[in-house]
Amino acid sequence: MIDLVRLHSGAKQKEMIRCIQENNFSQSYMYADLISQKNNYPITGIQDGYTFKANEKQAYAFGSFHKYWNKKAGRGAQNWNDFYFNDVCQTIDRFLIQYPFMSDFHITRLEIGFNLDITELELKYSVKDLIKDCFHFYDWNVLPTEKTYDDSGYMKEFMRSQYSIKVYDKSSQFKLKDKSIIRIELKMISKKEFANLGIYHLEHLKNKAFIEGLFQLFIKRFDKLMIVDPVAPDGRISWKKDLFNYLNPMYWRSFKRTQKEAKRNHKNAAIILLDEKGLLTIKEKLKKGLEAKFLQLLHGDPAEESIGTISTIYNNGISPSIENHKTQKGGNYES
């Protein structure tokens, strides 16, 4: 659900400075001028994984609310478990009770993400292999950046100017031997992405209608990922050459601006081929799993698990409200 939130104010820098100075944060510091021996702004404080900063002109704070919630509960700074909508609301309330002056801070960056155990989706792959071999590109021409981190973590990020899609192997990152968790995130770098939905302040993240709007945007971005089932190499099969072209972003970049109709026809041919050869099953299972997970987190009670597990929802189908958000089979690949 909700993960990183970056907050900003151009009017509450004094309150932020006082907050950092007066609270017993786990870390707090300023930069010192070695010649004048004076401390210089910005002043920084870190508590429960959340970073607070201020200078003479502005104040801002950033961090993962999911990890903040887990740290407060003694589970460490991690975000591989489920973060229910009820948990989000309680975390925001707790945060604003502790830092009430931040209630009117503007959200300037936002991330929403979901964890799926791929064994529950009957996907018989390691998470790392699934990401490496099946996530090819975004919107027909955006190649991913591959990263390894925390010794064994692995991710791909598909970057655009105002947002990016990130796909993580959470099981390897946190050494979860009994789980196979993939995390898919939408990182909204520009506030236009969510401000258009009416989201400006933390309180807006407690509104289910706004969260549903974020999920629709998440699925819209997910649909543009080229996720294709692995195919065994066999040069004797004639359509393999077409598939090789379709999975190569340079092939799509080779079309000139004057060839829009030809490019559109080739895109349609690619979608038909992938569908006919049954190469969209992984994407369809992931999408169905994301929709089921969203329903579980939005409407479920983390204490009572009243809506059931993702497997139960996945196998019983998707509710009408989510069904209305679905696009054509395999996702909408059009720009």
DSSP 116-131: EETTTTT--S-HHHHH
CB 109 within 8 A of CB 5: yes
What's the pLDDT score for residue 310? 57
> How is residue 277 written in tokens?
């050869």
pLDDT confidence of residue 299: 93
Ordered DSSP codes for 36-62: T--EEEEEEEEETTEEEEE-SS-EEEE
CB atoms within 10 A of CB 335: 8
| pLDDT tens figures, 294-325 | 999 999 876 655 444 555 555 655 544 444 44
pLDDT in tens, 243-252: 989 999 889 9
The reported pTM is 0.88
Residue type, position 144, single letter: P
For the chain, give the mean pLDDT.
Answer: 89
- pLDDT tens figures, 139-189: 998 999 999 877 778 999 999 999 999 999 999 888 888 899 999 999 999
pLDDT at residue 330, as a whole number = 43
Question: Does 260 have pLDDT greater than 60?
Answer: yes
For the chain, the domains span 2-15+44-228+280-323, 239-276
Q: What is the largest CA-CA distance in the chain?
A: 75
Write the CB contacts of 145 (distance below 8 Å, at least 6 apart in sequence). 156, 157, 158, 159
